[in-house]
């Protein structure tokens, strides 16, 4: 099966040579989504707002692929400061309310555009 590039205007454009997402063999692979507000191009300072926007961007790419939050099987959260773990978990729980996907969360030294968070995801579309 041929891979299909997923691109949507409802999430920020890729800031490098990569796709927002790729669909192949029933899987949707979503590139790391930064907390870039698609309307303003800005990243808010507040980590709660950053987590919300990053997850909204993940959801926009999922939707473009014909998937939803219920199709997500794995996420990776990259945090600039792991002391924000609980705050991010609160936001995350508002998106993934039942049957949460597998996940890992790691602290990183730096993220593109000096964001505080980046989130990627893998979904399965039946």
Instruction: Give the tens place of pLDDT for each residue, 55-67.
Output: 999 999 999 999 9
Q: How far is CA 107 from CA 1, 70, 80, 97, 102, in A?
A: 36, 26, 6, 24, 17
Residues 117 and 81: their CA atoms lie apart, in Å, by 9
Out of 14, 73, 105, 111, which one is annotated catalytic? 105
- Residue 25 has what pLDDT? 95
Q: With a threshold of 0.85, does the pTM exceed it?
A: yes
CB 107 within 8 A of CB 84: no
For residue 72, what are the β-bridge partners?
Answer: 123
- Nearest residue to 4 (alpha-carbon basis) of 31, 37, 26: 26
pLDDT at 2: 84
Question: In the annotation, is 100 catalytic?
Answer: no
Listed in sequence order, the DSSP H helices in 65-95 are 85-95
pLDDT in tens, 78-110: 999 999 999 999 999 999 998 899 999 999 999
Domains of the chain: 4-124 (3.30.1330.40)
């Amino acid at each position: 099966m041929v891979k299909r590039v997923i691109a949507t205007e409802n999430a920020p454009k890729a800031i490098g040579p990569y796709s927002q997402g790729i669909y192949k063999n029933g899987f949707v692979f979503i590139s790391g989504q930064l907390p870039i507000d698609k309307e303003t191009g800005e990243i808010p300072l507040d980590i709660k707002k950053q987590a919300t926007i990053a997850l909204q961007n993940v959801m926009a790419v999922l939707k473009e692929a014909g998937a939803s939050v219920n199709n997500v099987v794995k996420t990776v959260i990259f945090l600039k400061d792991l002391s924000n773990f609980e705050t991010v978990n609160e936001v995350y729980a508002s998106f993934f309310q039942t049957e949460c996907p597998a996940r890992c969360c790691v602290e990183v030294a730096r993220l593109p555009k000096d964001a505080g968070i980046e989130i990627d995801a893998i979904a399965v579309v039946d």
